[in-house]
Structure 1
Amino acid sequence: MRVKSFWKYYSGQEIAPVLTIFIGGNHEASNYLWELYYGGWAAPNIYLLGFAGVVKFGNIRIGGLSGIYNAPNYCLGYHVREYDVHKLMHLEEPIDIFLSHDWPLGITGNLQQLIQQGTLGSKPAAQLLEKLKPSYWFSAHLHCKFTALVEHEEGGRVTKFLALDKCLPGRKFLQIVDIESDPGPYEVQYDEEWLAITRKLNCVFPLTF
């Protein structure tokens, strides 16, 4: 395993030039991410949403789910966990942006060469997509750029889905999206509803794997 450059940010030797909010995927050092299970500053100007979390940036509400879905481990203490999905399913207030590493099941478009319908994708993420109906859903994991519009039956709402490629030269790993918002302050703030859900469900927090 090769050590890349994130250690420089983690140690404070380098500072991210813009505020960065992220979730865990399937290649991070999970022992370090466990230290921020509920979210927090992984490095100066770099905020981890935790294994599941919701924050506000100005009046933009951002939620996320770390890890990838693995059916045999869904009820255990690693990968995407049923407990974290259960907490997110309790959200009632609108979500503007949602982050997941693997794609929700069913977003296949014309990528039949990459995805076989019903066999690759995250079932819990699909459930969250249908429940939360965020304005935007951003993913990664499949190492390709892909966009889709997900139309929801209730209320005619639409989720704009975007996945980006690996961060390598010549790859489509960056896209700028303009989202309307009220004037600042533009800073990471705790979300009141998420704090209430976390407190309410703390009594059933799984303490064993």
Structure 2
Amino acid sequence: MVTDVKDFELLGGPTTMTGYSRPSEGKLTAVTRILGVCTAIVVCGVGVDVAYHRHVMGFYVTAASAVIFFLEITWAISLFIQVCIRNDDSLCWGCWSGVLAITRGWRRAILYLPLSCILAWKPHRLWLSFVAAALLAVLSLLHIVSSALSRRGNELTGSADCVGESLLNTRPESYDRFEDVLVTEVLDDGIPGSTCRMAESDGEM
């Protein structure tokens, strides 16, 4: 199951859980997501302004801002898909898992860093272009750090986080096992009582 965010199952240890991140990682993830959306908005503003002044580059920057926004809200899309589908074996979830595997973590820096350099190299007399370039550079660094911390945590816990973007980890088999155990315990608790009552009734007879 996917889980960046990527996405909660118990490990062998009493206090470790693969889906739950440590407080520092949780804060870093929240900061990265907020900064990512803000960066996409700023880059979009730069692209629109540059396109308004009849520079072809503005259209490419605007399209890149749409890609950035998409990449930075993949955790929300993952949540929506999991709530709607709730089936790990579905084709839709399999395709989305592939998209997340390709675009998660440090891989986003492959797009962000070159775009940051382009915006800083040709600002087109727009000071906001330097702001967008700086935000992209910082966002790239945050994704690289977050990916490194996630990989280190997975190595320490011995778990494998295949995507790291999901917020819900629905495991129907876990609920089935829980129900089986609960029913078994109820039956075990009920059988001795019924046996004793039958024995008492036999004695009275």
Would the TM-score normalized by the shorter structure come out above 0.5?
no
Q: State the TM-score, normalizing by the size of structure 1.
A: 0.23
Structure with more strand by fraction: 1
Larger radius of gyration: 2
Q: State the TM-score, normalizing by the size of structure 2.
A: 0.23
